Amino acid sequence: MKADDERGLSVILIYTALLFFLLGVAARMKMSFHHRMELSTGGFVIAAVLATLAILLFLFSLRKRS
């Protein structure tokens, strides 16, 4: 995979992680139901995993270009 492709994929992963983070925040605000806490926790976990993958992919793309 080219470095430019990896950078593009890392940007997509960052914005997907942001989307899941915002989903977790919205679920935490509407915690009047029991199942909202599970959505909130799941959203935060998925956001953390996607952000980690995006950062690693971005760092690998920088290493290839040098």
pLDDT for 15: 92
What would the DSSP string read from start to end of 25-46? HHHHHTTTSTHHHHHHHHHHHH
Radius of gyration (C-alpha) of the chain in whole angstroms: 15
Measure the CA–CA gap between 35 and 51, rounded to whole angstroms: 24
Number of domains in the chain: 1
pTM exceeds 0.85 for this model? no
With a CB cutoff of 8 Å and minimum separation 6, the contacts of 60 are 6
pLDDT for 65: 60
Low-confidence ranges of the chain (pLDDT < 50): none
Measure the CA–CA gap between 49 and 36, rounded to whole angstroms: 20
pLDDT for 5: 86
Q: What range does the domain containing 43 cover?
A: 3-65
